[in-house]
Amino acid sequence: MTTAVQEKLLSPLTLGALELRHRLVMAPLTRLRADEDGVPTDLQVEHYAQRASLGMIITEGTWPVREGRTWVGQPGIETQAHIDGWRKVTDAVHEAGGTIVLQIMHGGRISHPLLSGTGRVVAPSAIAAPGEIRTPEGKAEHPVPHALENQEIPGIVEAFVQGAQHARAAGFDGVQIHGANGYLLHQFTSPTSNQREDDYGGSPQNRARLSVEVTRAVAEAIGADRTSIRLSPQHDIQGALETDDADALTTYTALAEGLAPLGLAFVDVLSADLAGALVQTLRRVAGAPLVGNSGFGVVTTREEALRLAAEGTVDAVAVGRAAIANPDLFRRWEEDLGENETRPESFYVGGARGYTDYPAWQG
């Protein structure tokens, strides 16, 4: 790649109140290293601080209330202990010169009563997710969730608001609302997981409503210039399917229309086709900077990241596995150095192996 192509990815970027030294972003990555109560550990402090040279870090999905918990080892942002634990992370990242945003994630039906701690899991409709989930007692079938009643919806909105306020108290530069990948907000957006007949179901506009309401409430609570949302249109994962192209375009256009007046810091989209009409329409209508992540089933390479930035397909590029394996990824991509080999078998196992033991470039 030529220097001219590299310049865009390497250039600074302002996203609302967030100042990025360059446009290479760490995507949110489930790693499951918190303690049994969801409090971040010293391992997480080290892991995130190691990666502070990236333009911005977006953390792993973090539950705002226990009922929104999805995984054993997943961190929370509900209690003072969570705030204090995350404060150690943000202090370390800031001391190293980095910018860090907390992703707030309510898992909805991607959970189990043994994880949620409330004897139930919740969703837009009483439709179980496909497959199994790992609980403290081993794998189990996804249970049929409780269909949220209309009067319970404000409590979901408030959970995200509280999580955002706690994130700011913990020192995060901003927050990202998880509206993607088959979790609660995406369960409302998808016509296969949302069979409601009230104001939150049926039409594309109604199915987009909760994501807009949550984002608006969070933006009002902590500032739109520190608020973002992650979306994964037609990613078709965990039973939140969007197979009808016309319906998906209408739904995400409606969602973007709801976001447009807010003045968000950025919208983060996971899609294998970031240049396609669906993503670019969402970008244009929302009127917010686009952080794009093309990887999930495939790895985002250095060459692809440089191209996406140089062509203006996105304003910044979020990468996952390369950021896992290379704590100094920005330097490696800036200087076109070699990369460590990613070890997928250690992604979710806990401990330092495959988490904090990847070496920086020697030389």
Q: Which residues are catalytic?
A: 183
Q: Which residues 6+ apart lie within 8 Å of 331 measured at CB?
A: 53, 337, 360, 361
Q: Which two three-digit tokens encode residue 322?
A: 């390369």
> Would you call 342 helix, strand, or coil by DSSP?
coil
Stated length of the chain: 363
Please check whether residue 282 is in contact with residue 231, taking contact to mean a CB–CB distance below 8 angstroms. yes
Measured distance CA(298)–CA(214) in Å, rounded: 30
Please check whether residue 128 is in contact with residue 142, taking contact to mean a CB–CB distance below 8 angstroms. yes
Phi, psi of 58 (to 5 degrees): -110, 120
Q: What is the CA radius of gyration of the chain?
A: 19
> Would you call 15 helix, strand, or coil by DSSP?
strand
Burial (CB count <10 Å: 0-12, 13-18, 19+), residue 250 = middle
Spatial CA neighbour of 163 closest among 232, 92, 230, 217: 217
**Which stretch of DSSP H or E encloses residue 135?**
strand 132-135
Burial (CB count <10 Å: 0-12, 13-18, 19+), residue 31 = buried
- What single letter denotes the amino acid at residue 117? G
- What single letter denotes the amino acid at residue 203? S
Token pair 């269909």: residue: 147
Measured distance CA(322)–CA(320) in Å, rounded: 6
Measured distance CA(250)–CA(118) in Å, rounded: 36
Q: Each residue of 331-348: b (16+ CB within 10 Å) or e?
A: ebbbeeeebbebbeebee
